[in-house]
Amino acid sequence: MDISLSQGSAILPSVSLNKSVMPDSLAVKIENLSISYKINVESKKTLKNALMRASRGERVRTKTVEAVKNLTLDIPHGSVLGIVGANGAGKSTLMRSIAGILPPTQGRIGVNGKISTLLALGVGFNKALSGRDNIILGGLASGLSRDEIESQTDAIAEFADLPEGFIDMPVRTYSSGMYSRVAFSVAVNMTPDILLLDEALSAGDAAFKEKSFNKMRQLCEEARTILIVSHALSSINELCDHAIWLHRGQMLASGKPGEITEKYLKFLNVGELPSSYEDL
Ligand SMILES: Nc1ncnc2c1ncn2[C@@H]1O[C@H](COP(=O)(O)OP(=O)(O)O)[C@@H](O)[C@H]1O
Ligand SMILES: [Mg+2]
C-alpha cells in the first residue's frame, strides 16, 4: 500500500489562507474545499521521451482533475458520517485531505482532535518491520505516547487474531487478509477522537468482518466522530447518523442515511440523479 500520488500531485494553494474560527462543538469543519490533481498526459513516460522533449524545449502537457469541488460541511463531535458515491467521486481524496495527507487546493479544513485513519490508499505499514513494530509506529503516528502504545500493543495484536507467531514476523510475510486485519485493528484501537475509515469494513473473512462490525458499533456508541466511506450501504444505514453522497467531486445530497443511500441506490440502478440537481 502506497500513497497513490504517482500519477499526479496535488496542486497547492498559491496564497496562504487565514485560519478560520473553529467552534468547539465541531470535529471537522470544511469550507469551500476544492482539491485538484495535476496529471501529466504523456503517452509514454520514458527518460528518452523526456530528454527529447527537453531538447526541443517542450513542456510536459498536463491536465487538471478536480477531485473535490467547493465542498462545505460541518461535522459535529460524536457524529458518525457515512460517505457514499461511485468510483472516482472524490471520497478517498476527501478522506486524505481531512487526514492531512493532501493539502487543499482551495478552501479550508479545520480539525479538532486526534485523527486515526484507515485509508484505502493511505499510509501503509513498513513491510520490513514486524506487525508489532508497525502497531507501535501506527500509535506514534496517531499521536499516542510510547507508554500509551505499549499498554495497548498486546490488545491490538490479539484483536487482529493472526496465526501463531506472525505478529513478530515482518509484515511482508503476511497475506493481504492478515495485513488488513492488523491495519483495521490499529486504526480502531488507537482510541482516536476522529476515525477515518475508507472502505475498511470489508477486511478479512466473515468472522473477522463480524468482529470488526461489532467493534465499529461500539465505537459509534462511544460518541466518537467517525467518517465511513463504504459501498456496504446497509452498514452505512446501521452505523451512521448522517450521510452524504458525493458525485464527481460535488455533494449531491446530505441527510439521514436511509434517505441518502436510497437516493444513491436509485441512481445506481436507473442512473437517475436527484431532481434538485441540474448542474451536471
Ligand atoms: N493521485 C492522483 N493523481 C491524479 N488523479 C487522481 C489521484 N487520486 C485520485 N485522482 C482522481 O481524482 C478523482 C477522485 O478520485 P478518488 O478520490 O480516489 O475517488 P473515490 O475514492 O470516490 O473513488 C478521480 O477522477 C481520480 O482519477
Ligand atoms: Mg476511494
Atom of ligand 1 nearest to the CA of 6: 1
Identify the three-state secondary structure at position 39.
strand
Give dist(CA 183, CA 181) in Å, integer.
5
Give dist(CA 100, CA 74) in Å, integer.
17
Q: Above pLDDT 90, what percent of the chain?
A: 38
Instruction: Compute CA distances 129 → 4, 103, 119, 220, whole Å.
Output: 21, 29, 20, 31
Identify the three-state secondary structure at position 10.
strand
Q: Is the CB of 64 under 6 A from ligand 1?
A: no
Give dist(CA 25, CA 18) in Å, integer.
20
- 166-214 pLDDT tens trace: 999 999 999 888 888 888 888 777 777 888 888 876 666 778 888 888 8
- 38-72 pLDDT tens trace: 987 766 677 887 788 778 877 777 889 999 999 99
Residue pair 29/22 in contact (Cβ under 8 Å)? The answer is yes
- What's the maximum distance between 2 C-alpha atoms anywhere in the chain? 62
pLDDT value, residue 210:
85
Nearest CA to ligand 1 atom 18: 92
Mean pLDDT estimate for the chain: 83
What ligand is nearest to the CA atom of residue 83? Answer: 1
Give dist(CA 131, CA 157) in Å, integer.
8
pLDDT value, residue 72:
97
Nearest CA to ligand 1 atom 3: 8
Listed as ranges, residues in the chain with pLDDT below 50 are 1-9, 12-18, 120-122, 278-280
Q: Do strands 106-111 and 115-118 pair parallel, antiparallel, or not at all (unpaired)? A: unpaired
Q: Is the CB of 71 under 6 A from ligand 1?
A: no
DSSP tag of 113: S
Give dist(CA 74, CA 98) in Å, integer.
12
Residue 201 half-sphere exposure toward CB, CA atoms < 13 A = 22
What residue type is assigned to position 70 of the chain? N
Q: Do strands 26-40 and 106-111 pair parallel, antiparallel, or not at all (unpaired)? A: antiparallel
